[in-house]
Each structure stands twice: as structure tokens, then as C-alpha cells.
Amino acid sequence: MSQPLVYVDTSEVREGALEELKGAVQELAEFIEANEPQLIAYNVYISDDGSQMTVMHVHADSASLDYHMNVAGPRFGGFAELVTLSSIHIYGEPSGKAMRQLHDKARLLGSGNVIVQDLHAGFSRFAR
């Protein structure tokens, strides 16, 4: 049985880029909502001082992350001048293809690491 997958990335906001970043992430979130109906959650958080952005999404399975990387991935380059990616954390088991794409994203947007943590114990309750 496939397990849910949680994605969390953290970036430093480049100086002077906050307002442009806010507009860009709003546009990206709207695009993802319209084009990725399988995604359970997609949320962007910005620190009170505007220096850090965290993106969190929840997928029902690894195929959902694969789909997200194919659909939204081409848009990530537009953020290269706005943020410096610090890290990508994946909780669950992504596919090999998604891992390659995540490493590419990390190189494109910064020098952050891609860290995967496999499920050890617990459960999820998602309506299917």
C-alpha cells in the first residue's frame, strides 16, 4: 500500500525580493491548485521578518510528487533570483525520478540538501 508523502523546503528570501516573491508564490499556488487536483495540501509560509520562506505540500503517494514535479517543475526557475534554497526534506518514499528532479531543483535554487526520512511508525487518515 502506498503511503502519504510530505515535502518541506526552506529558502532564504533575497534582499529586496519579498514583494515580488509574494506575488510569484501566489501565482504558483493558484496554478498548482488548478492543475494538480490530486495534491492534498500546498502551503507557503513566510517568516514575520520576511527573510525566510517555507513551502509544504502533502501527497497521497509518491506518484503525486512525480506529477507535481512534472507539472510545476518548469516554473521553479522563475524563483532563482528571489530565493536561495536551504533544504528540501521529504518524509516518505519518493521515486528515483523525483529524487533526481529534487536534486536538480536544489542546484537551480541554491545549494541546499535533499534529505529523505522514511516512515518508521504511525498512521495517516486521508479520505479517498
Which ranges of the chain have pLDDT less than 50? Answer: none
Indicate whether 123 belongs to any domain. Answer: no
pLDDT digits (tens, 9 = 90+) for 68-89: 999 999 999 999 999 999 999 9
Distance CA 51, CA 124 (A): 33
Nearest to 66 by CA among 40, 101, 115, 109: 101
Q: What is the largest CA-CA distance in the chain?
A: 46
Q: What are phi and psi of 119, to 5 degrees?
A: -65, 130
Q: Does the reported pTM lie above 0.85?
A: yes
CATH number of the CATH domain containing 105? 3.30.70.100
User: Where in the sequence is the domain holding 21, given as residue range(s)?
Assistant: 5-117
Indicate whether 87 belongs to any domain. Answer: yes
Indicate whether 124 belongs to any domain. Answer: no
Indicate whether 27 belongs to any domain. Answer: yes
pLDDT for the residue numbered 2: 74
pLDDT for the residue numbered 127: 58
Indicate whether 86 belongs to any domain. Answer: yes
The count of structural domains within the chain is 1
Indicate whether 111 belongs to any domain. Answer: yes
Indicate whether 125 belongs to any domain. Answer: no
